[in-house]
Structure 1
Amino acid sequence: MALESHKQANEENEFILSLPKETGLGSAPYIYLFQDFWCPTVYVEGVNKFQKHFDAKENDVFVASFPKSGTTWLKALTFAIVNHQQFSSFDHHPLLSSNPHELVPFPEFMYSYDLHDQILSLSNMSEPRLLGTHIPLPSLPESITKSNCKIIYICRNPFDTFVSAWEFFTKMKSESLPDLTLEEAFEKYCNGIMGFGPWWSHVLGYWKESLTRPDKVLFLKYEDLKEDTIFHVKRIADFLDSLITQGGESTTVIENIIRLCGFEKMKDLEVNKSGRIFDVVENKTFFRKGEIGDWMNYFSPSMIEKLSKIIEEKLGGSGLSFKYVTT
């Protein structure tokens, strides 16, 4: 048994080493081109296991996103909506004592870090199960794509996404790894080389699926959610067939959920000032600014021009566009 396990580990390692690789942001020295997306080393094996072993249930709900696109906020909002009947008191709510990533875990990360107890707990989670993923649509387990489970996808304009990722992964970087300058990281981003990227492929995959199967995928933009939070939280509730929007006090409930999940409120919670997810990422790193347009403090005119042209080319004809401050 031990020999078989050792053999399997060697085969997996050889497979990973056979993949094209690049230096990337974050704590790992390389990211690998796996199934047409760039995957951090530790997650290649996890994604493989997720694809092979995860059994989706028909009433599962997934919060999907490209990293640093508003994932934490959407997880909190969705958790509050899905579990409203169970946790109707906003004074003693799980979100006040647990980070959203604990309440809405990433299965691919569980498989990556061999968290056996947590993997086993997936089958015992109360239904509907609420889970997260950063995996591009084509690489999701078939049990997800072929079932009737629902996916809520959030994306963010590519300028703020890059800056948020740069800040996040710079904080996570191992001291033993060489520093990447902002300009070097930007060049990689423009070439699609970032964990779970290219950004445009990730976004377009879910965008097209939301047009083809609107009952399966709800597509949200971070900027829209910020601009009219009540409207879009109601969209989420309607998409999930929540009883919240069917009651006479639906607006009051929605407003309470929005306050509970507000950026400043969550950032100031003790649980989000301390602790770590998987003993790897500090909870506080998930709460930086939550603003639109912060990218203007980082981008040079040439960077703006370059990324604008790339996005225009990649998204051209898709019907997808983004709002972001340009003056």
Structure 2
Amino acid sequence: MANVTTSTSPAATVLSRLPAPVPFKDVAVVVVDGGGQQDAADASSPLEEQHAGAGAAVSALPSNPKLFLRRYQGTWVLETWVPGIVAIQRGAFAPRRGDVVLASAPKCGTTWLKALAFATMARGVHPPGAGNPGHPLRRANPHDCVPFMEKLFAAGGGGIGSRVMDALPSPRLMATHMHHSLLPASIAENPDCKIVYICRDPKDMLVSMWHFSRKIRPDLEFSDLFKAACEGRCLSGPTWDHVLGYWNASKASPERVLFLRYEEMLRDPVGNVIELARFLGRPFSPAEEAAGVAMDVVRLCSFEKMKDLEVNRAASSGSAGSSPLLRGVRESISSNSPYLRPLLY
């Protein structure tokens, strides 16, 4: 009988020893409230309970009621997320070596970036190939793997967010829609924290945002959203300030801030995943590149694969009752859009 031996490449062995990010929904943090218990990742509370004194402060901020926005420190953010931003700025977020923050304005490929970054960083423990049916992204929505910091810290005045973030093992992977100017120094100026920013053609972003917003406000006219965006009063607006803040940061500290473009990622997803891995300190080895591991990551995170997963059809984390993965992300609209044409010319 012949002896059968197996071997593992040195690169794979090294990667398997590196810690991998853990889906934040898998972290059990129990909050006891009046004798009852609930998972902190699912915990929510009224605005007045989310941050001591924040209710009155938020209600005093300039508003855009059609889009449920408030103007905070020169930027327009979701009203319910303002307490989370305040909590983060006041120190509720405790930085840790190896933290990675994925930043973007809404509808710019955030969900895709979450999936790509998670799969890239976790590939040593969770191989992205088809032979691994138990991969976290095959059972969990990307938003269940990578939390939005503002949303998480808006619950319980930052206390719940702090517990969840403290319970997450390193490296922690998190996301934000905050302007760079809103980030605390513990993120923006921290040499041990890396930021990956993705931008998108603002015209495409705007049309995608309109389709998304109509799930919540069916009566919202595109012309109203277009006007609000031009005036800087849309979600995460002013848009150009949002982009410029991270662009300048990437030029000042390219070793800490990576600036990606959605359109370029669509044109060359494998090349951008390789660049992403290199920036995150987990470059693909020659053996991995030869084996097509970067392509495996791209396939795992493709729109076609993601949309077929039950967890994404159910949209466990989506707002508006449908999957956040495909709402207006794939199209390339630009100025040829029938929505934009009469407003641009």
TM-score (norm 2): 0.78
Residues 163/154 of structure 1: CA separation in 2 closer, same or farther (3 Å cut): same
Q: 1:269 Cα shift?
A: 0.9
Alignment of 1:127-138 (within 5 A): 127-138=170-181
1:73 aligned to which of 100, 112, 118: 112
Q: 1:39 Cα shift?
A: 1.6
Q: Does 1:11 align with 2:53?
A: yes
1:217 aligned to which of 243, 252, 257: 257
Alpha-carbon separation, structure 1, partners of 2:273 and 2:82: 33
Superposed CA offset, 1:26-70 (max 9, x none): xx3xx1110110122111111101222101112101111000000
Residues 302/283 of structure 1: CA separation in 2 closer, same or farther (3 Å cut): closer
Partner of 1:23: 65
1:112 aligned to which of 154, 167, 191: 154
Q: Which has the larger helix fraction?
A: 1
Q: Which residue identity does 1:69 align to in structure 2?
A: C
Alpha-carbon separation, structure 1, partners of 2:239 and 2:87: 23
Q: Does 1:93 align with 2:135?
A: yes
Alpha-carbon separation, structure 2, partners of 1:206 and 1:142: 14
1:124 aligned to which of 167, 190, 213: 167
Native 8 Å contact 1:42 1:112 kept in 2: yes
Q: 1:13 Cα shift?
A: 2.3
* Structure 1: stretches of 5+ with no match in the other structure: 1-5, 306-327
- SS of the equivalent of 1:249 reads helix
- SS of the equivalent of 1:39 reads strand
Partner of 1:181: 221
Partner of 1:237: 277
Alpha-carbon separation, structure 1, partners of 2:274 and 2:324: 28
RMSD: 2.2
Q: 1:228 Cα shift?
A: 0.9
Residues 96/35 of structure 1: CA separation in 2 closer, same or farther (3 Å cut): same
Residues 8/126 of structure 1: CA separation in 2 closer, same or farther (3 Å cut): closer
Partner of 1:288: 327
Superposed CA offset, 1:95-125 (max 9, x none): 0110001101112101223385554121121
Partner of 2:94: 55
1:140 aligned to which of 179, 183, 195: 183
Alpha-carbon separation, structure 1, partners of 2:205 and 2:84: 24
- SS of the equivalent of 1:113 reads helix
Alpha-carbon separation, structure 2, partners of 1:71 and 1:274: 19
Residues 290/210 of structure 1: CA separation in 2 closer, same or farther (3 Å cut): same
Partner of 1:297: 337
Residues 36/118 of structure 1: CA separation in 2 closer, same or farther (3 Å cut): closer
Native 8 Å contact 2:50 2:83 kept in 1: no
**How many residues end up aligned between the 2 structures?**
290
* Structure 2: stretches of 5+ with no match in the other structure: 1-47
Q: Which residue identity does 2:166 align to in structure 1?
A: S
Q: 1:24 Cα shift?
A: 3.4
1:152 aligned to which of 196, 199, 211: 196
Alpha-carbon separation, structure 2, partners of 1:82 and 1:301: 41
For the pair shown, which has the larger CA radius of gyration, 1 or 2? 2
Residues 129/74 of structure 1: CA separation in 2 closer, same or farther (3 Å cut): same
Residues 237/283 of structure 1: CA separation in 2 closer, same or farther (3 Å cut): farther
- SS of the equivalent of 2:314 reads coil
Residues 9/214 of structure 1: CA separation in 2 closer, same or farther (3 Å cut): closer
Residues 95/221 of structure 1: CA separation in 2 closer, same or farther (3 Å cut): same
Alpha-carbon separation, structure 2, partners of 1:8 and 1:230: 41
TM-score (norm 1): 0.82
Partner of 1:37: 75
- SS of the equivalent of 1:248 reads helix
Alignment of 1:151-170 (within 5 A): 151-170=195-214
Q: Which residue identity does 2:119 align to in structure 1?
A: A
Native 8 Å contact 2:105 2:177 kept in 1: yes
